[in-house]
Amino acid sequence: MTHPLFTPDMKVDHPYWWEGAPRPDLPVPDLPKTVDVVIVGSGYTGLSAAITLLNEGRDVVIFDAEHAGWGCSTRNGGQIGTKLRRGLTDLASSYGRAKAIGLIRETVHARDFIAGMIEEEGLDCDFEVAGRFTGAHKAADYETLAKDIEPYNKELGIECHMVPRAEQHSEIGSDTYHGGQVMPHNATLDPGKFQSEMLRVVLAKGGKIAIHSPVIKIERDGDGFEVTSTAGRVRARDVIVATNGYTGPMFPEFRRRVVPVGSYVIATEPLPKETMTRLFPKKRATSDTRHVVHYFRASPDNTRVVWGGRVAAKETDCRSSAPKLHAAMCHIFPDLKDVRISHSWMGFVAFSFDHMPHIGVRDGMHYAMGYSGSGAAMAPYLGHKTALRVLGKESDARTAFDDVPFQTRPFYSGSPWFLGGAVLWYQFLDRVGR
């Protein structure tokens, strides 16, 4: 039965981004017997690593268990931020202020890295430096947001500013927030096109990709690895694991370090230009300070609202999540109550236990993952850094994340039994304004 909020042709489990960047049907290539590097996963981490390796003359085979870009990389909100999940005060209490600023600086490097890659490789992906507005969900959050931008203005030399509630209509067509923070150098892009364009470059540079070919076994063999996928076996000197929120039992040591958390998104039917201009006067990427965050933006062509968040304690289906996301959207934008939904989808964000991205080498395999919902720029950046480490360029490969331990928890092996309770608790805190 259809729902009054759904367009008659609404697409379920189908990201809006796949309209502009349809998932390619790639024939499985002839696999070489040996290769320099096997990459597991064809999202931003894997493809960015591949581009860096191919630029340095290495040969690369990428395996993906599903379509190319099946994971988060073609499902995300396309918001290019320069924040980690944790703000300055929180980071400084764990690592000290100097290290905290070093960690935040990496987010700026990540944003600049992808802007450079888009320019140099000619990636056609609607990259737009539209800035970001973060709304204060409760009055006290305004001060925290103001404190969090201090290092950008002082130490990082990047202009950021606060907008009080009385003036927030210059940023967002809503009265709900208690003012907010503006980071003008943040950006948006079309995440599907970004992944497709990176893939185009990888193929043009001679990289090989086998889709629908899960890696099912990796054995150490002398100074390399014997990698078995359902498409065949390849011997590789190095392996890069780029599976993030889709890390399965094949990689138990990584799986017990990332928590897959479903994040849900809808796109609306096209809206009049005047409505879009009123809601998003500067076309900012937007999110807020809720524990269970709302993130939303205008589509690149400025016709639709793309709205994301977490709507239920347990994972749910995208037909049920859509009306709940719609209700959240109407809480911020009440006049969208009759606007219908054209697409509903979800993807698995990989949270790490400390909510930090992680990069390194484990069991001889290189990895970068655990972006905790902020990987649209960080994943390509750390994919590139991982490739530099594979190339032996140790000083160029260095990041502030290198010495941050990639933790797990006792009795956790990859199935987050605690997630439902945690979501309910954080939703409660958001409701009571704590």
Ligand X SMILES: Cc1cc2nc3c(=O)[nH]c(=O)nc-3n(C[C@H](O)[C@H](O)[C@H](O)COP(=O)(O)OP(=O)(O)OC[C@H]3O[C@@H](n4cnc5c(N)ncnc54)[C@H](O)[C@@H]3O)c2cc1C
Pair 68, 209: CB distance under 8 Å: yes
CB of 278 within 8 A of CB of 173? Answer: yes
State in angstroms the smallest separation of the CB of 169 from ligand X.
24
Q: Between residues 152 and 295, which has the closer beta carbon with respect to ligand X? A: 295
Closest to ligand X by CB, 274 or 286:
286
Q: Which CB atom, from 404 or from 432, has the smaller least distance to ligand X?
A: 404
CB of 370 to ligand X, least distance (A): 9
* E strand segments, 108-244: 132-135, 161-163, 180-183, 187-188, 208-210, 215-221, 224-229, 232-241
CB-based closest residue to ligand X = 375
Residues that bind ligand X (CB under 6 A): 40-46, 63-66, 70-73, 75-79, 81, 214-215, 242-246, 248, 250, 263, 265, 295, 308, 347-349, 369, 371, 373-377, 379
| Least Cβ distance, residue 250 to ligand X (angstroms) | 4
Q: Which residue has tokens 């490789």?
A: 121
CA quadruple 319, 246, 131, 85: dihedral sign: positive
- At its nearest, how many Å lie between ligand X and the CB of residue 262? 8
Question: Rounded distance, CA 95 to CA 404, Å?
Answer: 9
Cα distance between residue 161 and residue 146, in whole Å = 8
Q: For ligand X, which is the closer residue by CB, 66 or 269?
A: 66
Report the alpha-carbon distance of residue 251 to residue 42 in Å, rounded. Answer: 16
Nearest approach in angstroms of CB 284 to ligand X is 13
Q: Which is nearer to ligand X, 77 or 179 (CB)?
A: 77
Residue 66 or 90: the one with the smaller Cβ distance to ligand X is 66
Alpha carbon separation from 233 to 223, 239, 284, 330 (Å, rounded): 17, 13, 46, 51
Ramachandran bin of 41, using left for φ above 0, alpha for ψ from -120 to 50, beta for the remaining angles: left
Closer CB to ligand X, residue 116 or residue 252? Answer: 252
Of 75 and 343, which CB lies nearer to ligand X in the complex structure? 75
Half-sphere exposure for 310 (CA within 13 Å, toward CB):
22
DSSP output for 361-404:
EETTEEEEE--TT-HHHHHHHHHHHHHHHHTT-HHHH--TTTTS
Q: Which two tokens stand for residue 182?
A: 């503006």
Q: What is the DSSP letter of 8?
A: E
Alpha-carbon gap, residue 164 to 133, rounded angstroms: 12
The contacts of residue 417 (CB under 8 Å, 6+ apart) are: none
Residue given tokens 């609404």 in the structure block: 10
- What's the rounded Cα separation, in Å, for the pair 183 and 316? 33
| CB-nearer residue toward ligand X: 64 or 171 | 64
* Shortest CB 432 distance to ligand X, Å: 26
Name the one residue in this structure whose structure tokens are 């968040």: 309
State which residue, 77 or 131, has the beta carbon closest to ligand X: 77
SS3 12: strand
Amino acid identity of 293?
V
Shortest distance (Å) from residue 74 CB to ligand X: 7
Nearest approach in angstroms of CB 182 to ligand X is 17
* Least Cβ distance, residue 198 to ligand X (angstroms): 10
Question: Least CB distance from residue 417 to ligand X, whole Å?
Answer: 20
